[in-house]
A and B are shown apart, each in its own frame.
Chain A
């Protein structure tokens, strides 16, 4: 136990028991991003799976929205310590997007409009763990929350769920993304409290 804070009792709630260590519950939906919100017109939107210059799959908004979708309910955990439980989304599973992709790459670098990037092992995007989401709470995803479409990988801290997503680069060697190069943990498992370098 750390230094006791004289006169501090805190405000515990029973719901905290379901939260990863060091998180607290919120009911609103705070926004965190490093720069201005990009506004991406649907007619210009595209999403690719690539190995650098070699594009393996490409969708425009129409072909992307022609894919089968899933409704899913997940908990979100932000590294800034808020957690939001039971959020409702509609999106396309990464399993669907990768159905015809053959690769022996082990890592992925996710790219966004606005040049944000984040990295994770490819395995973390597979097997019903990740979606490209375009609706939140039965409404089109607002730009400040990542619309038109964002990645959701809810088992990792929310900075891995790149907003304004536009592509995934498959890699044989891991490469840190934006926050991962600026002091945040390379993997980011909230249940192991992997917030920063060295955690």
Chain B
């Protein structure tokens, strides 16, 4: 069933990514980590649909935030990041997905690992935890190209300042801030071992990002003793246009 949401706010996260806040009157509610299908329709009836992760925590107001990264050769993401204006209407379907989700009843340690725009569904989990007053210990390892490519920077800073059980570690792949302890580079076994929960705590791990990133991160988690059934992954390929 397709629903119509109205764009009530737009916010640029980075030069290439924008958060779209939609108000959806009959929204059935969602869980942190789920996604929606967004459908664009041209005047002649041609339509294109892509999936995007929900960034917002579950809320009673029927608000759905999507953070969309523009892909240079994308069909839908350029429209969503450049054309859409406040008060436009967008069709969406969902929420979809019952596996890559975090529920507010969960109390175990949580390890989040994001690659680039893979932060979006993980941010929904962090926001959901805060909104519910859940005290489960969270760690986020966020691998990102450079400081200016970070999404939700101020909010992540504020959340981890207020609550010592949310720990955020950044890992930069191309350019790090001055005096950053780790030289820019892809995630590796040492980084995973040093910044994620010890496996004996049996954390539930959520890994989201591009295919090769997720492949590597999930592999390092397994190798450091995490049980495969506690590692949940969400991948997007170059054409997946997920997120």
Contact = CB atoms under 8 A, between A and B. Distances in A.
A80 B240 contact: yes
A2 interface: yes
A1 B237 CA distance: 30
Interface in A1-30: 1-12, 22, 24, 26, 28-30
A111 B85 CA distance: 47
A8 B39 CA distance: 11
Contacts of B229: 35, 115
Interface stretch (B92-100, B139-147, B153-161): B92-100
Interface residues of A, number: 39
Interface residues on B, range: 35 or more
Contacts of A24: 48, 75
A99 interface: no
Given A30-B237, A34-B99, A34-B232, A5 B40 contact: yes
Contacts of A26: 237, 239
Contacts of A4: 41-43
A194 B211 CA distance: 25
A196 B75 contact: no
A35 B100 CA distance: 10
Contacts, number: 111
- Main SS of the interface on chain B? mixed
Given A8-B41, A80-B51, A30 B211 contact: yes
B221 A10 contact: no
- Main SS of the interface on chain A? loop
B236 A37 contact: no
Interface in B32-90: 39-43, 45-51, 75, 79, 83, 85, 88-90
Interface string A169-199: 0000000001101110000000000001010
Interface string A96-125: 000000000000000000110000000000
A82 interface: yes
Contacts of A32: 235, 240
A82 B240 contact: yes
Contacts of B4: 3
B238 A28 contact: yes
B210 to A, nearest CB: 10
A141 to B, nearest CB: 15
B219 A5 contact: no
Interface string B214-243: 010011011000001101110111111010
Interface string B86-124: 001111000011111000000000000000000000000
Contact of B96 (A82, A144, A183): A183
A114 B83 CA distance: 43
Nearest to A144: B215
B239 A82 contact: yes
Contacts of A2: 2, 39, 41, 47, 91
B201 interface: no
Nearest to A143: B215
A76 to B, nearest CB: 13
A66 interface: no
B72 to A, nearest CB: 13
Contacts of A28: 237-239
A28 B211 CA distance: 12
Contact of B50 (A8, A81, A181, A198): A81
Interface of A: 1-12, 22, 24, 26, 28-38, 80-82, 114-115, 144, 178-179, 181-183, 196, 198
Given A2-B41, A29-B237, A178-B99, 15 more contacts: A2-B47, A2-B91, A6-B85, A6-B88, A12-B46, A28-B239, A30-B211, A30-B240, A36-B233, A82-B237, A115-B229, A181-B98, A182-B99, A183-B98, A198-B1
A-B interface, 8 closest residue pairs, ranked by CB to CB distance from nearest: A30-B237, A182-B98, A36-B218, A5-B40, A26-B239, A8-B40, A31-B211, A11-B75
5 contacts: A6-B83, A30-B211, A35-B229, A37-B215, A181-B98
